[in-house]
């Protein structure tokens, strides 16, 4: 049996084809009128854009107090040709998340400007946003509820206490300890201010 033949312990080779290079289009320049560029793969248009942007930045940085004097000490070919060209090549080859840098920056800005919470494909308020209702909301147990359930309630709120309980003060709120027994004929009202909490310890 040859080494390249599949055997009982050697799995069959699987060939995976990828057409990613076919659909990843990149604009390149190979010729300027009749003059062919001395590069086998040409030069990418993104490299030219990054290089021109770096050259313009060099011109603008000449007016900077400290950085301008440091750049002025460099020779003009190095300052306006070599450094911008090196910057353009580096930025065009840098691909975060497998995408060109300019597309990555555009996607990041679009993500920053888009809605964080979406409801039915429409922007909705964030989950931590505080909503104030015009009418009071009544939250109570069912008619068969005979005991307090453990939990925590934040103010502002008005609580009707019908069961027997022991109320103790605590920093920034009240603590309620269920005591059992019969329900009250008339509820005891407890008012919580803004920032106060009611901690219920059930039985």
pLDDT in tens, 6-22: 555 666 777 666 666 56
Residue spans of alpha helices (H) in the chain? 20-23, 45-60, 67-72, 76-77, 83-93, 101-113
Residue 182 covered by a domain: yes
- The token pair at 18 is 């990828």
Q: What is the pLDDT of residues 115-169, one digit of tens each?
A: 777 776 777 766 666 666 666 666 666 655 667 777 788 878 888 777 777 778 7
Residue 4 pLDDT > 60, yes or no? no
Torsion of CA 52, 53, 59, 63, to 10 degrees: 180
- The token pair at 144 is 């068969």
Decide the pairing of beta strands 157-161 and 165-170. unpaired
Per-residue pLDDT, 51: 92
Q: What residues make up the domain containing 54?
A: 20-94
CA atoms within 13 A on the CB side of 156: 7
Residue 6 covered by a domain: no
Most confident region among 21-25, 42-46, 162-166 by mean pLDDT: 42-46
Residue 135 covered by a domain: no
Decide: 163 and 147 in contact? Cβ < 8 Å.
yes
Residue 139 covered by a domain: no
Residue 113 covered by a domain: no
Residue 52 pLDDT > 50, yes or no? yes
């Amino acid at each position: 049996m040859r080494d390249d033949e599949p055997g009982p312990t050697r799995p069959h080779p699987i060939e995976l084809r990828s057409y990613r290079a076919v659909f990843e289009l990149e604009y390149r320049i190979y010729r300027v009128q009749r003059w062919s560029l001395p590069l086998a793969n040409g030069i990418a248009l993104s490299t030219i854009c990054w290089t021109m942007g770096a050259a313009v930045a060099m011109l603008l940085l000449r007016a900077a107090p400290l950085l301008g004097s440091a750049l002025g000490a460099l020779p003009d070919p190095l300052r306006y040709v070599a450094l911008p060209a090196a910057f353009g090549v580096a930025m065009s080859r840098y691909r975060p998340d497998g995408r060109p840098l300019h597309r990555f920056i555009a996607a990041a800005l679009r993500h920053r400007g888009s809605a964080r919470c979406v409801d039915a494909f429409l922007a909705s308020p964030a989950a931590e946003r505080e909503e104030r209702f015009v009418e009071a909301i009544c939250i109570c147990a069912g008619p068969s509820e005979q005991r307090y359930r453990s939990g925590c309630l934040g103010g502002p709120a008005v609580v009707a206490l019908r069961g027997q309980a022991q109320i103790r003060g605590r920093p920034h709120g009240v603590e309620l300890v269920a005591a059992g027994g019969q329900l009250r004929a008339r509820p005891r009202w407890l008012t919580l201010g803004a920032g106060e909490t009611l901690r219920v310890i059930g039985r």
